[in-house]
Amino acid sequence: MWPANVLFIGCGNMGGAMLAGWLRGGVAAERFTVYDPFLEAAPEGVELLRELPEGRVFDLLILGVKPQMLDGVAGALTALAGRDTVVLSMLAGVEMASLSLRFPDARGLVRVMPNLSAALGKSPMGVAAMGLDHEARECVMAWLAPLGAPEWVDESLFDAVTALAGSGPAYVYRFIDALAQGGAALGLDPEQSLRLALATVDGAAALASGSDVGPGELARRVSSPGGSTLAGLSVLDAGDALGALVLGTLTAARDRNVELGAMARAAGK
C-alpha cells in the first residue's frame, strides 16, 4: 500500500497534527520516520532521527517546516527526493513551481493545505499535484482521507484556501474567546462561560455540517420572531461590520501567503 514509508522533515504543530491523524486512523506507526533536530519526542513506534537518513528511500517526503526554512533544508534533501519519492508540502504560500526547482528529480509533487483538526480526522484540505498520473493522484487522496476531507483545488486559489481553511481555526478560536468573555461580562463564571461557548460552537458546527439548509436559514431558525436572538443579530449584523472584519482578516492572511510565495520564488532563482 502506498506510501509504505514516510519521512517527515519537521514535525511541529501542523506536521504533528497530521501524524496524529494518520495514527488515529489506524496507519501503523512503523511506517513513519520523523527528522526533526528539535522535537522532544515522537509518538510511540515512530522513528525519530536527529540526522537526515542516508542510503534509504522513502515513498513520501513530507515537508513540515516553516516556509522561511525551505532553503535551510532543501539542499540537504536532494538525495532523499529522488525518482521513487513523492514530495508533499504543507508550506503556506510556497508554489509547486518553487518546490520543483528545489526537488527536480522527485517522482511528483503534492501541495496540501490542512489545519490542526487533522489530528481528529476533521481537517478540510486543499490539494494540488504536479507530475502524478491519475492513479497516483487517487492514491494521494486515499492517503489524505484519514485526516479529514481532501479536495482538489486549483493552485492559483491556494493562498485563499490557506487563509480560510488553514488559518481559519485561529479565527474561530478568537470568536469562542469573544463569546466566553461576553458571557463573563454579563455575570457568568468565566470557566462556565467558556464551557458554554465551546459547547455552543461545537453543537452549532455539527448541526450546520449535517444540515441540508445553509447557515443563514439555521440562524433564522434560532431567531424567534420578536425574540432575543434577533435583538442580538441586529447588533452583530449592523453595517455588515462582521462581514467586513472577516473579509479584511482573510485578505490580510491571503496577502501574507502571497508574500511568502514570492519570497520562495525569488530565493529559488
Ligand X SMILES: O=C(O)[C@@H]1CCC=N1
- Residues lying near ligand NDP in the complex (CB under 6 A) are found at 9-15, 35-39, 64-67, 69, 72-73, 90-92, 113-116, 166
Sole window of 23-31, 37-45, 74-82, 160-168 interacting with ligand X (rule: CB under 6 A): 160-168
Q: Applying CB under 6 A, does 144 fall inside the site for ligand X?
A: no
With CB under 6 A as the contact rule, the residue among 166, 194, 254, 261 that binds ligand X is 166
Select the binding partner of residue 37 from ligand NDP, ligand X, none (C-beta < 5 to 8 A, by kind).
ligand NDP
Select the binding partner of residue 38 from ligand NDP, ligand X, none (C-beta < 5 to 8 A, by kind).
ligand NDP
12 marked as binding residue: yes
Select the binding partner of residue 55 from ligand X, ligand NDP, none (C-beta < 5 to 8 A, by kind).
none
139 marked as binding residue: no
Report how far apart the first and last C-alpha atoms of the chain are (Å, whole number).
37
Closest CB to ligand X among residues 21, 166: 166
d(CA 73, CA 64): 11
248 marked as binding residue: no
- 160-172 as b/e, with b when 16 or more CB fall inside 10 Å? bbbbbbbbbeeee
Beta strands in 10-167 (DSSP E): 32-35, 47-49, 60-63, 86-89, 108-113, 123-130, 148-152
10 marked as binding residue: yes
d(CA 123, CA 116): 7
Q: Cell numbers 493522484 correspond to what residue?
A: 137
43, 29 Cβ separation under 8 angstroms: yes
**The three grid cell numbers given for residue 96, joined into one nine-digit string:** 509547486
Closest CB to ligand NDP among residues 115, 193: 115
Q: Applying CB under 6 A, does 92 fall inside the site for ligand X?
A: yes
Dihedral of CA atoms 138, 140, 143, 145 in degrees, nearest 10, equals -70
Q: Beta partners for 89?
A: 63, 111
Query: In the complex, what is the shortest distance from the CB of residue 13 to ligand NDP, in angstroms, rounded to a whole number?
Result: 4
150, 112 Cβ separation under 8 angstroms: yes
Closest CB to ligand X among residues 64, 166: 166
Closest CB to ligand X among residues 166, 261: 166
Select the binding partner of residue 36 from ligand NDP, ligand X, none (C-beta < 5 to 8 A, by kind).
ligand NDP
What residues form the annotated binding site? 9-14
What residues form the annotated binding site for NADP(+)? 9-14
Site residues (CB under 6 A) for ligand X?
Answer: 92, 162, 166-167
